[in-house]
Amino acid sequence: MLSTLLDGLWRAHTAAGGRRLIWIFLTLGLLGMSADVLAHAIAQGDKGYIQEITGVNLIAFIYLGAKHMVTGYDHLLFLLGVIFFLYRMQHIAIYVSLFALGHSTTMLLGVYFNVGINSYIIDAIIGLSVVYKALDNVGAYQRWLGFQPNTKAATLIFGFFHGFGLSTKIIEYDISPDGLIPNLLAFNIGVEIGQLLALAMILIVMSYWRKTDGFFRHAYTANIALMSAGFLLIGYHLNQ
């Protein structure tokens, strides 16, 4: 069943409509990605606000966390790859929870213990996670390696790196130690809220697309476009 599906997807990607879909995905991505978005940076206005405030500011940090996740193209691309072929809500919940556990853990611990890592390297690894998941979705590892790597473990591990991406950015903005822990927890809650909002939007779009005849014809092409976006992120960050 799976091999038949993969073979069908492989043949479909050569169609003219599939090639057009790649260019549409990449064009929209390039038009929508400013330098700040590619760097996954917190907006300058938010940066100034973070540096100025002291004490416990739960609502403000919840808002900042949600905004950061909803506007984080790299996180959303990986999330799209993760749920691309997941149909049951319990399966989606498992993978999204693993991703949330991973990025929440390293974000909180990274900021609390002031573990700073070169942000461009981390962001390049996040781009790599998008490439990895797109290749996984088209069955590349089964063809190349002869087996399927553990998808749950990969989601958790890449979640750790995504969390380091968040913590590295927060450390760079020298957040006040006064109220640090409550503010970090609030920021993390905001990130999870943003993730749920983004996931809801992605699932709505995917649910409509899956009902069309073109879904399986263009699923391979869509993942090639997803992989191309990941390579774009990697190249950008490694050249900084």
Q: Which residue shows structure tokens 């973070």? A: 50
d(CA 98, CA 96): 5
Contact yes or no for 177/54 (Cβ under 8 A): no
The chain-wide mean pLDDT, for the chain, equals: 83
Angle at 99 between CA 163 and CA 93, to 5 degrees: 150
- Please tell me the pTM assigned to this model: 0.82
Question: Is residue 179 pLDDT above 80, yes or no?
Answer: yes
- Note the pLDDT of residue 9: 46
Token pair listed for 131: 């490439």
Question: Is residue 14 pLDDT above 60, yes or no?
Answer: no
Residue 70: pLDDT band (50, 70, 90) is confident
| HSE, side-chain direction, 13 A CA sphere, residue 26 | 17
d(CA 88, CA 94): 10
Q: Residue 38 in 3-state DSSP? A: helix
Q: Is the dihedral of CA 47, 48, 50, 51 positive or negative?
A: positive
User: Any idea what DSSP says for residue 43?
Assistant: P
Angle at 86 between CA 85 and CA 91, to 5 degrees: 155
Residue 230: pLDDT band (50, 70, 90) is very high
Domain borders along the chain are 2-238
pLDDT digits (tens, 9 = 90+) for 122-164: 999 999 999 999 999 999 999 999 999 999 999 999 999 999 9
If you compute the radius of gyration of the chain from its CA atoms, what whole number of angstroms results?
Answer: 18
Which of 190, 229, 206, 204 has its CA nearest to residue 70? 190
